Structure 1
Amino acid sequence: MFVMLAGAVATAILDLFLIFGFNLGITGAAIANVLSRFALLALGFHGVVIIHRLVSIPDRKRLFAALVPFAAIGGAAVLTQLATPAASAFVTARMADFGDAAVAGWTVVGRLVPIAFSALFALSGTVGPILGQNFGAGRFDRVRQALRDALIVSTVYVATVWLLLALFRNQISGLFSAHGEAHQLILFFCLIAAGSFLFNGPLFVSNAAFNNLGYPVLATLFNWAARQSGCCLSSGMVPDGTVRRGTGRMGGGRRCVRRCSNYRLLPPNQPPFGGN
């Protein structure tokens, strides 16, 4: 979470200076994005190599023995994580049709999301090990409780953040000295689009459940379906695809919740998702 926050904070600060302070427009946004990636890489490398000392030369025999089981889950998990960047790249290209101000506003929104909803992103990484450990121990009641509690926490958290964004929308826009289309886009996100994360929460929790309980392909399918159907397709059909993106996230979240909720139909002594 700290690595993600470092990249988001670096980008937000660099955007403020490069886009609005030096009037570089879309060029400033691109420079800020590249520099933030270096900051993210530096912090992650420091944590992995210097602090935790997790990097070493792998043993070839052990590496190949572990490659297949890791790839079975890791490959699908990587594809799951690629859904959001792919959708964001498409929307950024669409925003470019409306000029530098629209791209600047979209960049600010892209930086607000990981900061405002950082706990939501961390929740998906936190709940996964809890689900996996209790599933392995045969405590399916705790698996159900963890899923239920995670959904409650994500809903309350997103509702609170959405309220704060709506109340301080003008101050947030003023912080970045946004004007015109950039200002309108930031206001729209704070007032309306941020609410779509009410449905991103179930999507994230469900993805964590699928990945840790042996169904990584379902996480990949749901994430790509939610992102692409609610983002790329709608952006190509209507001038302002932001409302439709929210609709797509709602659909993806509802489908994941229905799939994860199948455990309610099972007796208390049986695992969710039909596991053995």
Structure 2
Amino acid sequence: MANVRSDQLGSEPIGRLLIKQAVPASIGILVMSLNILVDTIFVGNWIGSIAIAAINVVLPVSFFIAALGMAIGIGGSSIISRALGAENKNKALKTFGNQITLTILITVAMVGLGLYFVDSLIPAFGGKGEIFEPAKIYYTIVLYGVPFLALCMMGNTVIRAEGKPRFAMIAMIIPSVGNLVLDYLFIYVFDWGMHGAAWATTAGYLLCFGYIFWFFLSKNSELKISWPHFGLNGGILREIGSLGFVTLSRQAVTSITYLLMNNILFDLGGEAMVAVYAIIGRMLMFALFPVFGVTQGFLPIAGFNYGAEKYARVKESIYTAIKYAALVATLVFVVLMIFPAEIAGLFLSSREGMSATEIETNTFVLEHTPAAMRWVFAATPIIALQLIGAAYFQAIGKAIPALLLTLTRQGFFFIPLILTLPYFFGEIGVWSSFAIADVLATIVTGIYLKREIDRDLNRVAA
């Protein structure tokens, strides 16, 4: 898990390099996902299943604002990787300075709007009935920390673009561990309920920001920016925007998906059905951590070598990343198909003194989650091609195909399916939409990626 200098991205064997990049990324995503998972287990056991649904309602709004930071980070990091590959250090520094300025300006403005429209946004995202009040508590507190989360997500991608995956991994671990410790103190020991869950999450963001701020001030970073680098540059902003828009669009569609899913499921089965989706959503974040880790590790390798015009290495990195990601995705698939009921049971409380409503809700969730989980993850073994294919175009700076492939699964297939199939097949129509969308998106991505390799990489390499 040693860090590599940026120039080593263009010289080390691809397989070894991908492992060096992907393992720390996977560990970081694993710990972050475990944090989300265990946080949900704590909330479910110590507050209740309605609290799980409340947090699930809030996530799309807070994650969308935080995703602004990730969008700026990934868009800028693609520029930085290619600039370092082309030995253009000044462009890399100017890009990083612009990323910081842009992240602060946009996220602070978005948080202001999010707080102003709080009473409208929560019901729109499914926070109805008993879910509304705990969702509002959690939302209001967490939103104050979201600009720091956005800066963390932006900074983390830049650290990885420098070839320092171990530091990026630590940056992801710190808020996760901090959140879990504070969850125990604030919820279990101090009995602060939803307030405790929200403050634990916000404090985790602040801890992460402190670490990333230290990294860029220390000798570990190659990017030593000064005040002139913070001045916005139109050309760089356009390039960050075009590439970052891909990530932002993906998160925007994800937020729309949460909005639709929460409302559709609430109509089908009330708060309990929303809680089922909350558990499924956590597993989507957690179970696929190694696949996302390989994707994150692949991005700087492809971007650097493309910038250095080492096209044979770019092609090799694509095939190697797909192979590694498909292997781990298949292992995840096997586990989820065998143990869905046991996994669902982890999220539900069995404490004494529960009300009849809580017992009824827990029983419903336990009965409905296993079948839903099998449907949602049915196409997991093939998603590696979909993720790596879309990431490739983003890594090399081709914004339009990256955007289209990123939106293919959720925007072009999944949303139309969940708006249609439930009317004919009810609950099964909702869950089967996940697998159908995965299959269709993978086919489209595979065709497009093969055409690009044949037309671009093979021709240039020859």
* TM-score exceeds 0.5: yes
Amino acid at match of 1:50: W
Show the counterpart of 2:446. 257
| Mapping for residues 110-149 of structure 1, pairs under 5 Å | 110-149=281-320
**Inter-partner Cα distance in structure 1 for 2:287 and 2:228:** 41
2:339 counterpart (156, 168, 187): 168
**Inter-partner Cα distance in structure 2 for 1:202 and 1:59:** 41
Show the counterpart of 2:252. 82
Amino acid at match of 2:438: R
**Are the structure 2 counterparts of residues 59 and 218 from structure 1 closer, same or farther at C-alpha, using a change threshold of 3 Å?**
same
Q: Is the contact between residue 80 and residue 224 of structure 1 (CA under 8 Å) also seen in structure 2? A: yes
For residue 63 of structure 1, give the secondary structure of its aligned residue in structure 2. Answer: coil
**Inter-partner Cα distance in structure 1 for 2:457 and 2:42:** 56
**How far apart are 1:256 and its partner, in Å?**
0.9
Give yes or no for the alignment of 1:26 onto 2:50: yes
**Inter-partner Cα distance in structure 1 for 2:340 and 2:35:** 21
**Inter-partner Cα distance in structure 2 for 1:51 and 1:44:** 11
Show the counterpart of 2:262. 92
Show the counterpart of 1:49. 213
**How far apart are 1:44 and its partner, in Å?**
3.6
**Are the structure 2 counterparts of residues 11 and 184 from structure 1 closer, same or farther at C-alpha, using a change threshold of 3 Å?**
same
1:209 counterpart (382, 389, 392): 392
Scaled by the length of structure 1, the TM-score of the pair is 0.83
Q: Deviations over 1:107-131 (max 9, x none)?
A: 1111112221111112222111111
**Inter-partner Cα distance in structure 1 for 2:385 and 2:309:** 23
Show the counterpart of 1:242. 431
Amino acid at match of 1:78: L
Amino acid at match of 1:48: I
Show the counterpart of 2:369. 186
Q: Is the contact between residue 166 and residue 191 of structure 1 (CA under 8 Å) also seen in structure 2? A: yes
Q: Is the contact between residue 29 and residue 292 of structure 2 (CA under 8 Å) also seen in structure 1? A: no
**Inter-partner Cα distance in structure 1 for 2:456 and 2:40:** 53
Show the counterpart of 2:414. 231
**How far apart are 1:71 and its partner, in Å?**
2.3
**Inter-partner Cα distance in structure 2 for 1:86 and 1:56:** 37
Show the counterpart of 2:232. 63
Q: Bigger relative contact order, structure 1 or 2, given CA contacts below 8 A and separation 6+? A: 2
Amino acid at match of 1:108: I
1:158 counterpart (322, 329, 336): 329
Larger mean CA deviation between 138-147 and 252-261 belongs to 138-147
Q: Is the contact between residue 227 and residue 248 of structure 1 (CA under 8 Å) also seen in structure 2? A: yes
**How far apart are 1:211 and its partner, in Å?**
0.6
Scaled by the length of structure 2, the TM-score of the pair is 0.52
Show the counterpart of 2:405. 222
Q: Deviations over 1:129-161 (max 9, x none)?
A: 111222223322222221112111121111101
Q: Deviations over 1:161-201 (max 9, x none)?
A: 11112222222122123844422443124433213233432
**Inter-partner Cα distance in structure 2 for 1:209 and 1:57:** 31
Amino acid at match of 2:291: L
Larger mean CA deviation between 231-240 and 76-85 belongs to 76-85
**How far apart are 1:39 and its partner, in Å?**
5.5
**Inter-partner Cα distance in structure 2 for 1:56 and 1:181:** 55
**Inter-partner Cα distance in structure 1 for 2:446 and 2:247:** 19
Show the counterpart of 2:105. none
**Are the structure 2 counterparts of residues 57 and 40 from structure 1 closer, same or farther at C-alpha, using a change threshold of 3 Å?**
farther
Cα RMSD for the two superposed structures: 3.0
Give yes or no for the alignment of 1:103 onto 2:274: yes
Instruction: Give unpaired runs (5+ residues) of structure 2.
Output: 1-24, 60-137, 139-197, 218-222, 350-361
Q: Is the contact between residue 135 and residue 213 of structure 1 (CA under 8 Å) also seen in structure 2? A: yes
**Are the structure 2 counterparts of residues 114 and 143 from structure 1 closer, same or farther at C-alpha, using a change threshold of 3 Å?**
same
Amino acid at match of 1:150: A
Structure number with larger C-alpha Rg:
2
Larger mean CA deviation between 26-35 and 89-98 belongs to 26-35
Q: Is the contact between residue 273 and residue 365 of structure 2 (CA under 8 Å) also seen in structure 1? A: yes
**How far apart are 1:261 and its partner, in Å?**
0.9
For residue 214 of structure 1, give the secondary structure of its aligned residue in structure 2. Answer: coil
**Are the structure 2 counterparts of residues 41 and 203 from structure 1 closer, same or farther at C-alpha, using a change threshold of 3 Å?**
farther
For residue 397 of structure 2, give the secondary structure of its aligned residue in structure 1. Answer: coil
